[in-house]
């Protein structure tokens, strides 16, 4: 059974940093691209960042470019999102999602909540 479990969320002050993790199991992690998607309270889905199976290709939404860094450790079956210079508008539930070759997202975690507030 595919499982994606996010962690690392919490309350953080504007301008500070936070690192999210996503632990994957139930599939061959290093065969797949992985992504982060966020959802602000009461709002829609926003793609944040994606990383290829070998970390050779990475991309970011314009809203987080230069502040967030995605990475993965295939030996640990883990995905990460380093978030720096956090802003109030980064407040959201952050999901990790598995991306098969087709490009869509076939499995999602349950999310970890990030609240940016003073």
Partner 1 sequence: EIVMTQSPATLSVSPGERATLSCRASQSVSSNLAWYQQKPGQAPRLLIYGASTRATGIPARFSGSGSGTEFTLTISSLQSEDFAVYYCQQYNNWPSRTFGQGTKVEIK
Q: Site map for partner 1, 59-98, x if CB under 8 A?
A: x-xx--------------------------------x---
Q: Are 34 and 50 in contact (CB under 8 A)?
A: yes
Q: Of 90, 105, 112, 116, which one interacts with partner 1 (CB under 8 A)?
A: 105
Alpha-carbon distance of 107 to 99, in angstroms, equals 8
Q: For residues 13 and 90, which CB has a smaller minimum distance to partner 1 in the complex?
A: 90
Q: Tell me the backbone φ, ψ of residue 115, rounded to 5 degrees.
A: -120, 120
Candidates 52, 78, 82, 91; binder of partner 1 (CB under 8 A) is 52
Assess contact for 6 and 24: CB atoms under 8 A.
no
Reference 18, options 26, 9, 27; nearest CA is 9
| Interface pick for partner 1 out of 32, 46, 69, 78 (rule CB under 8 A) | 46
Query: Quick check: 114 binds partner 1 (CB under 8 A)?
Result: no
Part of the chain binding partner 1 (CB under 8 A), chosen from 13-21, 23-31, 32-40, 76-84: 32-40
C-alpha distance from residue 5 to each of 1, 15, 16, 57, 62 (Å) = 13, 26, 24, 23, 26
Does 108 bind partner 1 (CB under 8 A)? Our answer is: yes
């Amino acid at each position: 059974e595919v499982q994606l479990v996010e962690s690392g969320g919490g309350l953080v002050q504007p301008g500070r940093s936070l690192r999210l993790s996503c632990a994957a199991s139930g599939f061959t992690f290093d065969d797949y691209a992985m992504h982060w998607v966020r959802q602000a309270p009461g709002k829609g889905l926003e793609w944040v960042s994606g990383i290829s199976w070998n970390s050779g290709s990475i991309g970011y939404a314009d809203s987080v470019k230069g502040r967030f860094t995605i990475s993965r450790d295939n030996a640990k079956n883990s995905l990460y999102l380093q978030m720096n210079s956090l802003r109030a508008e980064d407040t959201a539930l952050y999901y990790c999602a598995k991306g098969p070759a087709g490009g869509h997202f076939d499995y999602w975690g349950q999310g970890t909540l990030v609240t940016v507030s003073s």
